[in-house]
Amino acid sequence: MSQLDLSIESGEIVGLIGPNGAGKTTAFHLIAGFHPPSAGTIRFKGDSIVGLKPHAICRRGLARTFQLVQPFAGLTALENVMVGAFTRERDTAAARRHAGEILDFVGLGPRRDTAARNLTLGDRKRLEMARGLATRPELLLLDEVMSGLNPTEIEAIIGTIRRIHERGVTLLIIEHVMQAIMALSHRLVVLHHGEKIADGPPALVARERKVIEAYLGEAGDGTAP
C-alpha cells in the first residue's frame, strides 16, 4: 500500500476495485484500525482516527464487514446482530429489539434463531452486513459481500445495499462482481499494486487505458480479470 489518496463524501457510494492483490482489503484493514498505517493520516468526520482500535472507530460510526465472513458461529443470527447493537444500546431488551429490526431489514427475520454456523453463505453475508449495520454506522465498508453468491442472491443483495444507502449510510464497497459495482457506485476507485490508478464516475473509469491494462495485463499477458 503506498500513497493512497482517497476521500469519500457523506452520502456517496464508492466502489473500490482492482485485481487480486491490489491492496483493497489492506485498505479496509487500515481504515478500520486493524493495521496501523506506517505513514499518513486517516480522517473520519474531520478527526484523525489513526491509532484508534477497531472498536473505537466503530463507535465513531465507521463499521466494516469481512471478506471471509466471520460470524460468531455458536450464536444465533439475532445474538450476532445484538453484539453490534450493543455498540449504541446498554439495555439488553433495547439491543434485542434493534437487532430484530435490522434482521428484518436485511431479510434474515425468519432465520433469527438459527445458529450462525448453520446459515447458508448468502445468509451469512447478510448477517455480516446486519451486524455492521446494527452499530448504526455513518460509513459502512462492505468487503466482497457478493462473492460466492448466485445471480439471484446477488440481485437481492444489490437491493439490500441500495436500501442501506437510502437509510443515509455512506458506503465504500469492494467488489469483484462488475455489473453490480458499476450499477451501484457513484464513483469508482481503482487500485493496482497498492496504488490508486483511477478515480471517477464508473463509466469513465471503465474506459481508462491504465485500468484495462491493470485487469488484462499489458499486451494481454493472460491474467484473468
Q: List interacting residues with other proteins (CB under 8 A).
A: 32, 34, 53-56, 58-59, 63-66, 70-75, 79, 82-84, 86-87, 89-92, 95, 131-132, 134-135
> Which of 19, 33 has the CB closer to other proteins?
33
- Nearest approach in angstroms of CB 74 to other proteins is 6
CA separation for the pair 195, 178 (Å, rounded): 20
What cell numbers appear for 89 in the block? Answer: 444500546
CA separation for the pair 74, 93 (Å, rounded): 21
Q: How many CB atoms lie within 10 A of CB 201?
A: 11
> Which of 132, 202 has the CB closer to other proteins?
132
Element (H, E) at 25: helix 24-32
What cell numbers appear for 146 in the block? Answer: 457478493
70, 111 Cβ separation under 8 angstroms: no
28, 35 Cβ separation under 8 angstroms: no
> Which of 66, 215 has the CB closer to other proteins?
66
> Which of 135, 185 has the CB closer to other proteins?
135
CA separation for the pair 135, 133 (Å, rounded): 5
- Nearest approach in angstroms of CB 60 to other proteins is 10
Which among 29, 27, 32, 25 has a CA at the least distance from the CA of 52?
A: 32
Angle in degrees, CA 197, 201, 205, rounded to 5? 40
- Nearest approach in angstroms of CB 47 to other proteins is 17
- Nearest approach in angstroms of CB 108 to other proteins is 16
- Nearest approach in angstroms of CB 57 to other proteins is 9
- Nearest approach in angstroms of CB 78 to other proteins is 11
> Which of 140, 197 has the CB closer to other proteins?
140
> Which of 96, 196 has the CB closer to other proteins?
96
Angle in degrees, CA 41, 43, 48, rounded to 5? 75
Residue entry with cell 471517477: 200
